C-alpha cells in the first residue's frame, strides 16, 4: 500500500501499540459498517412486513415461502453485518491501545463472512423476484420485498463486504484516482 495521501507525521505510528493515524484513517470504515448494519435492520423489518401482508389467493399460502426466504436472508445479512461491526470496533479498540485482541483471527473471520454476503444477497434477489411474482407485482408485499432488497444491497455494500483490513484501508477507487492523478502530474512536469 502506498502512503501518498498521508502526511509524514502519520506514517511512523504504524507498529506502535497506540496507532492514532490508523484509527483516524479507519474510523470512516466503522461509520460505513454502522450504516450498513442499520440498513440490514431495515431490510429485516421490510421483509417481515412483507411476510405479514403477503396476499393469500388460494388459501394454501403457496407464495409466501419466498417472502420468508427473503426475511431469513435479511436476518442472515444482519448477523454478518453485526460480525463486521464487531470486528471493526475491536480493531479500533486495539489500535487505540484500549484492549488487546488477536486481529489476525478476527480478520480471517471477517473476510470469510464477507464472501457469504454475495450468496445471501443473490438468494434474496431470487426470493424477491419470485415473491413479487407470486404476490402480484403491484401488491404491497411486492413493494416491501423490493424495499427489503434495496436495504439488503445497501447493507452488503456498506457493511457486509467491508471486511477487517489490519494492514490499513483498502485501495478504494478515490485512492486509485489520486494515485493516477499524481502519476499524470508527474509525467507532465
Per-residue cell: 176: 486509485
Rounded to 5 degrees, what angle do the CA atoms 146, 116, 93 make?
105
Mean pLDDT of 47-69: 82
- pTM for the whole structure: 0.77
Question: Which pLDDT belongs to residue 170?
Answer: 57
Is residue 180 situated within a structural domain? no
Question: pLDDT confidence of 71, banded at 50, 70, 90?
Answer: very high
Give me the number of domains the chain comprises.
1
Question: Which pLDDT belongs to residue 1?
Answer: 45
Alpha-carbon gap, residue 29 to 35, rounded angstroms: 10
How many C-beta neighbours within 10 Å does residue 173 have? Answer: 8
Mean pLDDT of 72-101: 90
pLDDT at 174 > cutoff 60: no
Is residue 77 situated within a structural domain? yes
The domain of 114 spans: 19-168
Is residue 188 situated within a structural domain? no
Higher-pLDDT residue of 126 and 91 is 126
Question: Which pLDDT belongs to residue 136?
Answer: 86
Is residue 184 situated within a structural domain? no
How many C-beta neighbours within 10 Å does residue 146 have? Answer: 17
Is residue 12 situated within a structural domain? no
Contacts of 105 (CB under 8 A, 6+ apart): none
Is residue 182 situated within a structural domain? no
Is residue 76 situated within a structural domain? yes
DSSP 139: S
Amino acid at each position: 500500500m502506498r502512503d501518498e495521501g498521508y502526511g509524514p507525521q502519520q506514517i511512523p505510528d504504524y507498529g506502535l501499540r497506540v496507532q492514532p493515524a490508523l484509527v483516524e484513517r479507519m474510523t470512516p470504515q466503522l461509520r460505513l459498517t454502522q450504516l450498513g448494519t442499520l440498513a440490514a435492520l431495515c431490510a429485516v423489518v421490510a421483509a417481515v412486513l412483507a411476510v405479514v401482508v403477503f396476499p393469500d389467493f388460494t388459501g394454501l399460502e403457496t407464495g409466501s415461502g419466498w417472502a420468508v426466504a427473503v426475511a431469513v436472508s435479511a436476518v442472515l445479512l444482519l448477523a454478518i453485518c453485526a460480525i463486521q461491526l464487531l470486528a471493526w470496533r475491536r480493531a479500533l479498540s486495539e489500535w487505540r491501545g484500549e484492549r488487546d485482541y488477536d486481529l489476525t483471527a478476527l480478520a480471517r473471520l471477517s473476510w470469510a463472512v464477507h464472501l457469504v454476503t454475495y450468496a445471501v444477497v443473490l438468494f434474496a434477489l431470487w426470493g424477491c423476484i419470485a415473491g413479487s411474482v407470486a404476490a402480484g407485482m403491484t401488491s404491497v408485499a411486492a413493494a416491501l420485498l423490493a424495499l427489503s432488497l434495496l436495504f439488503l444491497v445497501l447493507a452488503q455494500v456498506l457493511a457486509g463486504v467491508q471486511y477487517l483490513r489490519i494492514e490499513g484501508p483498502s485501495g478504494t477507487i478515490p485512492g486509485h484516482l489520486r494515485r493516477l492523478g499524481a502519476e499524470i502530474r508527474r509525467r507532465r512536469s
